[in-house]
Homo-oligomer: A and B are copies of this chain.
Amino acid sequence: MRLVIAKCSVDYAGRLSAHLPLAMRLLIVKADGSVLVHSDGGSYKPLNWMSPPCRLAESGTEWVVTGKSGETLTVHLEEIISDTSFALGEDPGLVKDGVEAHLQELLAAQLHVFGVGWRLVRREFPTAIGPVDLMCRDAVGISVAIEVKRRGEIDGVEQLTRYLELLNRDPLLAPVQGIFAAQEIRPQARVLAEDRGIRCVTLDYESMRGTDDGALRLF
């Protein structure tokens, strides 16, 4: 990664034409050749940029970055304050705790959506064939295994069915009921689930976020 602080003007010609008048800016040249032009404000979006794949041709005080489709970013360097390079290496990348995990978390805190008196046994309840998303007991103490999905499809019903079959062999747990909970449940999945005695619950993510217990209401 190369960082250049310089007084420069920049022109872009591609889908649109854009021009940046002469000013002091940060130029970033990444390992893949992409170039970002940042000012000292605004959002994370650069004032101007060239996305990879692209090629940087440097000649004197002019950089010409050419993109895959022929679009060009031209940088005229007037005065270079700093020009440094660093070897950063590969980045392991961002890990997002996505929606499914969050839904599971919200549900664990709001078991009352299934009925009063329910209590959580544990999240990610371990079994020999994988963890059950939520293991609970209802008001009268019946075990309930809940499979949480963002989109409820047949695969998810099959998965829950396998868990239920296994769990029902355990005399300490049996009988175990099943709930298939998802933001959206496909008709075929619903038919299959109900045919197998599995209750289907569609979840309203937004309202669950809004009516949570407060600990999750930070944002």
Q: Which residues of A contact B (CB under 8 A)?
A: 1, 3, 5, 13-21, 23-26, 28, 30-32, 34, 36, 38-49, 51-52, 69-71, 81-82, 84, 86-99, 101-102, 218-219
Contact A98 to B17, CB < 8 A, known contacts A82-B84, A91-B41? yes
Contacts of A52 in B (CB 8 A): 41, 43
Which of A32, A92, A102 counts the most B-chain CB atoms under 10 A from its CB?
Answer: A92
Contacts of A95 in B (CB 8 A): 18-21
**Contact of A97 (CB < 8 Å), options: B16, B41, B69, B93:** B16
Which of A39, A45, A46, A102 counts the most B-chain CB atoms under 10 A from its CB?
Answer: A39
CA distance A34 to B45 in the complex (A): 12
Q: List 8 tightest A-B contacts by C-beta distance, closest first.
A: A39-B91, A16-B98, A17-B97, A40-B88, A31-B40, A44-B49, A21-B92, A24-B88
CA distance A68 to B14 in the complex (A): 36
- Contact: A44 with B34, CB < 8 Å? yes
Closest to A17 in B: B97
**Contact of A219 (CB < 8 Å), options: B15, B34, B84:** B15
**Contact of A31 (CB < 8 Å), options: B18, B41, B87, B101:** B41
Contact A94 to B1, CB < 8 A, known contacts A30-B41, A38-B28, A70-B218? no
CA distance A25 to B91 in the complex (A): 8
User: A56 CB to closest chain B CB, in angstroms?
Assistant: 14
Contact A219 to B44, CB < 8 A, known contacts A88-B26, A91-B25, A94-B19? no
